[in-house]
């Protein structure tokens, strides 16, 4: 059966579809020993030989689904050219290759999914599916009701309005307060920029829920395999079941 090359690579657990497209344009992918640069190219799963940087890619791999409580100070990437710690270093090498779903910035901690299931990762990250993400944020000062309403209605970041959100004041304080913020989009540093836009910069940020999954008692740096029922629920949320 023929499938698009980027889907083949994501299904093999090599990377996400989006990153696969970048690799194709960078000339890192070959099919039957010929370098390709065509994004829409289709390959035969049974006959064609696909390589990334010369390494042959096998399609069939056992799916792996990991829930990690990411500590602050770790990059959500597999490798950093400057040698900074990445989430990959928190997992045993015996797990094999998994990649993160979505993003958390360096200073943010909390729930992160890692998997080799490229199709599920692609859908969970795609805005079309509106996957719910819940954060708790320690912010400077005490946000007023008007500031919370602005967060909920959406604020303008770089000329574009954020999608409606839910915001609640958990613990008020004169110097700092804790907020709960629920989003269904995933712009870069969105929670931090939204809070800054209403005059309350983030001091600490933690993601506590993603696509219905919660951290429970996992401490920062700890991880676990997702239960089969949890994987089924994730797939149902993005129409993969």
CATH number, domain containing residue 79: 3.30.70.580
Mean pLDDT across 100-129: 94
- Res. 110: pLDDT tops 70: yes
| Residue 105 annotated as catalytic | yes
Q: Which residues pair with 157 in a beta bridge?
A: 160
- Res. 1: pLDDT tops 80: no
Which of the following is catalytic: 105, 117, 146, 239?
A: 105
CATH number, domain containing residue 11: 3.10.290.10
| Shared-domain flag, residues 124 and 166 | no
| Shared-domain flag, residues 140 and 205 | yes
Residues 15-71 have pLDDT tens digits of: 889 999 999 999 999 999 999 998 989 998 778 899 999 999 876 668 999 999 999
Between 93 and 196, residue with greater pLDDT: 196
- CA 177 vs CA 42, 51, 138, 215: distances in Å: 52, 51, 6, 22
pTM of the model: 0.76
Q: How many domains does the chain have?
A: 3
CATH number, domain containing residue 149: 3.30.70.1560
Mean pLDDT across 175-194: 94
| Shared-domain flag, residues 121 and 136 | no
Mean pLDDT across 64-93: 95
| Shared-domain flag, residues 158 and 195 | yes
| Shared-domain flag, residues 161 and 189 | yes
Segments of 158-222 assigned E as strands: 160-161, 166-171, 176-183, 202-210, 213-214
- Range(s) of the domain holding residue 42: 2-56
- 95 confidence band (pLDDT: 50, 70, 90): confident
């Amino acid at each position: 059966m023929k499938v698009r090359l980027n889907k083949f690579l994501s299904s093999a657990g090599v990377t996400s579809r989006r990153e696969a497209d970048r690799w194709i344009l960078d000339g890192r992918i070959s099919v039957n020993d010929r370098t390709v640069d065509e994004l829409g190219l289709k390959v035969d799963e049974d006959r064609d030989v696909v390589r990334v940087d010369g390494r042959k890619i096998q399609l069939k791999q056992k799916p792996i689904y990991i829930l990690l409580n990411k500590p602050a100070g770790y990059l959500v990437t597999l490798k950093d050219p400057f040698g900074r710690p990445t989430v990959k270093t928190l997992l045993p090498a015996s797990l094999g290759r998994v990649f993160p779903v979505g993003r958390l910035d360096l200073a943010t901690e909390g729930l992160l999914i890692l998997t080799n299931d490229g199709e599920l990762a692609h859908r969970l990250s795609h805005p079309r599916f509106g996957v719910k993400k819940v954060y708790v944020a320690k912010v400077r000062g005490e946000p007023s009701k008007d500031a919370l309403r602005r967060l909920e209605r959406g604020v303008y970041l770089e000329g574009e309005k954020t999608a409606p959100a839910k915001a609640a004041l958990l613990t008020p304080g004169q110097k700092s307060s804790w907020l709960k913020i629920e989003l269904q989009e995933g712009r870069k540093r969105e929670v931090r920029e939204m809070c800054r836009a209403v005059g309350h910069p983030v001091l600490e940020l933690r993601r506590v829920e993603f696509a219905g999954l919660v951290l429970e008692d996992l401490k920062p740096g700890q991880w676990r395999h997702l239960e089969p029922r949890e994987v089924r629920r994730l797939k149902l949320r993005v129409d993969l079941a």
